[in-house]
Amino acid sequence: MVALAPERGSRETQTHAEHSAEIERSLPADRTGPKAIWHRELEDLARRANQLLLSEIEFIPSKDFERHGQLEVIECLAEKWTVARSNSHAATEHADWDGMGRLPAYIASLYRTTLLEREEEQELFRVMNYSKFRANQLRCRLDVENVDADLVLEIERWLSIASRTRDQLIQANLRLVVALAKRFVDTANTLGELISDGNVTLIRAIEKFDYTRGTRFSTYGTYAVRRTIYRASLKRREQRARFAIAEGDYMESQPEVRSSHSEVSEAYAVLRATLDELLDRLSPRERLIISARFGLAAANTTEEKPVTFEQLGRELGICKERVRQILVRALEKLKAWSGHDLEDWITEENV
């Protein structure tokens, strides 16, 4: 896998007049509004260009990407799958799925997605990775001081194609996660928890899968998802066992307060439910980082060692500084939603 950020090249010195002329050319064609609006549009364009330069673009390289006519081929394939996706959504909205009412809504929705044939799967992975490759090629031409609006739009278009294609691959393989998660359901692991664990790994596996080897994704994806679910389920069972032992020891040493234990458990359940409700409003990546960093996935959080930024970065495929930024943003959201001061459990060590 290739993860690239373009290097800044040297450029010729420009006069102030030349620089101003290039800025004017980069503005939208319709400039009938006040001059202040033009400057805001230019600032927004520069901001988007800077974000593109700082973002990591990971893709699986292929010698086919450099072949003549490859751009037109990928454009046609992308258009083909855009139409196919629209037709699929329209068909599932009006279809009568016999027996689907007996399944949970989320699982039932997965069976409305058609499984991919080998050739279809190869096409989607090819489109996704070429789109990132093309976006990275174009990104090398970006200069935040001389922003080319058409170039920014073209890069964003290719990244949008890559994102839509990735979503199609994810949707087509979610059934795999459910099938594997069902095998590990027990008193310590709910189906929802295991599916959530598997979905995170599925997304990362799709990003890292080397389709150029010609193998089916299910072979690679099954191994990666099953390993994650197994480890997560084992960890929860161990935590449940430790919690049960600790709870038993406490009850034996504090017989006089046994009568109030149910009240404490009920209060804890209410607090935890409130926290879970807040966490559910975060994005999957924000929720994962918060839970791992503060040990919220554990039944006994006091014994859970926080996961480091570096470990989370490796799991999510981003740098540890980016993980910290996402954490800070997520905590700000939780503070705003809760209406309370969360400083008591947010420490400098965690942030």
Encoding tokens for residue 210? 């080397």
Say which residue, 216 or 243, is predicted with more confidence.
216
- Residue 259: pLDDT over 50: no
Domains of the chain, earliest start first: 38-91+101-227 (1.20.120), 264-351 (1.10.10.10)
Number of H helices, E strands in the chain: 12, 2
CB 193 within 8 A of CB 287: no
Instruction: Tally the residues of the chain.
Output: 351
> In whole angstroms, what is the distance from residue 230 CA to residue 85 CA?
33
Residue 54 burial by Cβ neighbours in a 10 Å radius (0-12, 13-18, 19+): exposed
Per-residue pLDDT tens for 320-347? 888 888 888 888 887 777 654 454 444 4
CB 134 within 8 A of CB 120: no
- Mean pLDDT value of segment 267-281: 70
> In whole angstroms, what is the distance from residue 261 CA to residue 279 CA?
27
- Residue 141: pLDDT over 50: yes
Which residues lie below 8 Å from residue 179, measured CB to CB, with a gap of 6+?
none
What is the pLDDT, as a whole number, of residue 210? 93
Straight-line distance from the first to the last Cα atom of the chain, in angstroms, rounded to the nearest whole number: 30
- Residue 20: pLDDT over 70: no
Say which residue, 18 or 109, is predicted with more confidence.
109
For the whole model, what pTM was predicted? 0.57
Q: How confident is the model at residue 173 (pLDDT cuts 50, 70, 90)?
A: very high
Which residues lie below 8 Å from residue 214, measured CB to CB, with a gap of 6+?
122
Q: How confident is the model at residue 208 (pLDDT cuts 50, 70, 90)?
A: very high
Percent of the chain with pLDDT over 90: 29
CB 309 within 8 A of CB 351: no
